[in-house]
């Protein structure tokens, strides 16, 4: 009986001493379809089509590698964690997202935003990683 009590006490102590993790900022109105995937060496290549409905957003996040994106339809407003707009990309525009750069993508328009995105990530990495809301108000 003593061992379970020791384990519970250790778990309670760890919960108090370990800093809380930041809350994720989930997206809204976003869907994605993987079109192709391939791993070569230590790199994953994933081609994905992402649709963001009017008023939708990705949530604050970052990537472990580089993304190459093309706006197939609509307009993307792209903000960084310092709340600045680092780009407004309309139909036919391409842009790059750099590793570990916290950002959010928003569709402020009245039509769906459609992106074709090539993820170039270290093998086994998630497509994106949640980041805490930096307090920009959107």
The conformation of residue 83, written as its DSSP 8-state character, comes to S
Q: For residue 56, which of 34, 83, 76, 84 has the smallest C-alpha distance?
A: 76
Distance CA 68, CA 98 (A): 9
Residue 5 has pLDDT above 70, yes or no: no
Tokens 């949530």: give the residue. 59
Reported as a single tens digit per residue, the pLDDT across 26-72 is: 899 999 999 999 999 999 999 999 999 999 999 999 999 999 999 99
pTM (2 decimals)? 0.81
Residue 4 has pLDDT above 80, yes or no: no
pLDDT band at 25 (very low <50, low <70, confident <90, very high): confident
Q: Residue 26: how many CB atoms within 10 A of its CB?
A: 12
Residue 16: phi and psi, rounded to 5, are -80, -40
């Amino acid at each position: 009986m003593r061992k379970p009590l020791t384990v519970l006490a250790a778990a309670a102590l760890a919960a108090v001493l370990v800093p809380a993790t930041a809350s994720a900022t989930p997206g809204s109105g976003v869907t994605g379809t993987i079109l192709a995937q391939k791993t070569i060496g230590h790199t994953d290549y994933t081609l994905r089509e992402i649709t963001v409905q009017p008023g939708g957003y990705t949530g604050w996040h970052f990537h472990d590698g580089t993304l190459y994106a093309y706006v197939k339809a609509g307009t993307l407003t792209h903000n960084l964690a310092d709340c600045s707009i680092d780009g407004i990309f309309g139909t036919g525009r391409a842009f790059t997202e750099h590793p570990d750069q916290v950002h959010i993508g928003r569709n402020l328009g009245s039509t769906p935003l459609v992106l074709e995105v090539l993820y170039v990530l270290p093998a086994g990495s998630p497509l994106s990683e949640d980041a805490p809301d930096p307090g920009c108000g959107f």
